[in-house]
Structure 1
Amino acid sequence: MATVRFFAGAAEAAASDGAAIDADTIGELRSVLSTQFGAEFDRILGLCSLLVNGTRATDDAVTLAPTDTVDVLPPFAGG
């Protein structure tokens, strides 16, 4: 199972800072997360960047290994 870490608004929507998810691809991971955490989390997830072991995953076909760490990062505003 991949380790998934939620940050900022994603953590708030999930009411958790992470989860262990069994998924073979980023697309499958998105689907599992949306089902597990609901509509509000799904809305936030659509705005998020996903990093797999520190590298941005821009394609749902990116494969996941059970030892991977996926960070769910909502957009940040700063200054």
Structure 2
Amino acid sequence: MSHVVRLFAGAAEAAGVAETSASATTEDALRSELALRFGEGFGPVLAKCSLMADGTLLEPGEAIPDGATVDVLPPFAGG
């Protein structure tokens, strides 16, 4: 199953794209897939990001629902 992965702010800047697809089935596998795809400079940014599948925060190792849209969200300030 493929997922749409949307990258925001610093994550999109570090990756050079705002959207991609991925086939990983868990949160940690997705992090690995994206880090390999976008290279060394992306890893440290990704490590600080939260991942949300269809609006729900993914915990480490959690399964990603089939066909989910996953958002990669860097930390942000303000409110």
Q: Same fold (TM over 0.5)?
A: yes
Which residue is equivalent to 1:73? 73
TM-score, structure 2 normalization: 0.91
Residue equivalent to 2:51: 50
Written as runs of structure 1 = structure 2, the 5 A alignment for 1:1-79 is 1-59=2-60, 61-78=61-78
The ranges of structure 1 where at least 4 consecutive aligned residues each deviate by more than 6 angstroms after the TM superposition are none
- How many residues were matched structurally? 78
> The residue matched to 2:72 in structure 1 has which SS?
strand
Shift of 1:66: 3.8
Secondary structure at 1:28 match in 2: helix
Q: Secondary structure at the match of 1:39?
A: coil
Q: TM-score under structure 1 normalisation?
A: 0.91
Structure 2 unmatched ranges of 5 or more: none
CA RMSD of aligned residues (A): 1.1
Q: Distance in 2 between matches of 1:64 and 1:58?
A: 10
Give unpaired runs (5+ residues) of structure 1.
none
Q: Greater shift after overlay, 49-58 or 5-14? A: 49-58
